[in-house]
Each structure stands twice: as C-alpha cells, then as structure tokens.
Chain A
C-alpha cells in the first residue's frame, strides 16, 4: 500500500533560518507530489506540486521542493523562514498519475513554529 512519511513532527526555528522538511513515499510507479500548508485556523492551501519535468519545483511564498526519484523523496525547502510561515505542512502523494479517481495519501504533517 502507498504511504507517505514526514520525518519531523515538530520543527522550531528562528526567523531567517533555513528550512527543510523531509517527505518520503512508498510507491513504485508514476506519482504526483504535493505540499499543502495549513495556517492556524485556516484551510489547507496548495504550496506546490510536481507532476513531471524539472524535479525542482518552485511554489508560492518562496518555497521549493525537489523530487528525487531514486530516494522516493520530495523534501520542502525555504532559504529564510518568516514568522508568518508558522503553520502545519502536509506532504501528499497521488499515486498512479493523472486521470481516474486517484486519491491523495497524506503524511502525518509537520508543525512548524517560527520565533521572531
């Protein structure tokens, strides 16, 4: 069965620090990969997504992620975090490619707290 692992459950950083959140998935075929963010009291928002092509994906708010197929990883990065990045981050995988009724498998989430 497909699964998604997020290594860090809680991360605490100071402003301007660099961020990297790990995400690994288990599925041998074609995947679409996503990072979603949930700010306190708000709904899930799409940060970035990978379908195909350049494995380095740029998202909103300065976030990027790199798909490394050989490592089954899709880590999220940001060079310099801000207090407003405090949120919960979810990695998700849609296995089987586009079309059909493929479902998203979510990781457990990483709660990021950024201190001023």
Chain B
C-alpha cells in the first residue's frame, strides 16, 4: 500500500524559533499533498493544499507567512512553522494524493504526524 512518512515525529523548540516538518510519499508520486492540524480529541483541520511546483493554497484563517509550505518534488513537501509560539503547539499531519490520472485514486494517504511542542 501507499506509504507516507513524516519527519520528525516529535519536536520541542523554544518560542521564536522555526521548525521544519518533512512529508514524503515513499512508494508513489504525489502531485498534491495536504497539511492538517489536529487538536487533542478533535478532528483534522485542513491547513493548506500543496501542489507540486506551484504555490500552496491556504484555508481561511491560516497565516501564509506563519506556515510556509514548499512542494518541490513529487515525493516531498515541507511545512515550516516560522517564529513558533506556544499556541502553535499541536499535532501536524500530512497526507498525499496519488497522481489523479492513474484512475479513481482520489484517496489520501496519511503520514504518522509530527507533534510540535513550543516552550
């Protein structure tokens, strides 16, 4: 099956620093990757849609300058939380969608998530 990895799995940083999270599709090419945020005991909230080779599309209320997304290749997308603050502490999850022209593969495969703690 399709596998998506995230690195790191956990990160603790000081307030004001930047943190980069990587999302990789290991055995398929993903033209589209998605970044979600999950608060404790809550559902996933989409933050942005990342398309290979173009600018990410951010959901309403998500600061573009705060959460920088780069999707430079068909297997890698990165999320950088800039100048992190304690309120940015959360569980960040990425997902990857296979190239749609392979067929009805409108399925997203999820990474294991990255727990960010900002002190």
Q: Is A42 an interface residue (CB 8 A)?
A: yes
Q: How far is the CB of A1 from chain B (nearest CB, A)?
A: 10
Smallest CB gap from A105: residue in B:
B46
A99 contacts B43, CB within 8 Å?
Answer: no
B109 contacts A94, CB within 8 Å?
Answer: no
From known contacts A98-B100, A101-B57, infer whether A49 and B107 are also in contact, taking CB-CB under 8 Å: yes
Count residues of A near B (Cβ-Cβ below 8 Å): 27
A98 contacts B44, CB within 8 Å?
Answer: no
> Which of A44, A107, A111 has the most C-beta atoms of chain B within 10 angstroms of its own C-beta?
A44
Say which one of B14-22, B62-70, B110-118 lies at the interface with A.
B110-118
Q: How far is the CB of A108 from chain B (nearest CB, A)?
A: 5
Interface string of A44-66 (1 = CB under 8 A from B): 11100101100000000000000
Contacts of B42 in A (CB 8 A): 108-109
Taken together as a complex, chains A and B put the C-alpha atoms of A43 and B36 apart, in Å, by 12
A-B contact count (CB 8 A): 53
Q: How far is the CB of B45 from chain A (nearest CB, A)?
A: 8
B51 contacts A101, CB within 8 Å?
Answer: yes
Contacts of A42 in B (CB 8 A): 112
Q: Is A104 an interface residue (CB 8 A)?
A: yes
List CB contacts (< 8 Å) of A1-58 with chain B: 32, 34, 36, 42-46, 49, 51-52
**Interface residues, chain B, with chain A CB atoms under 8 Å away:** 32, 34, 41-46, 49, 51, 57, 93, 95, 100, 104-113
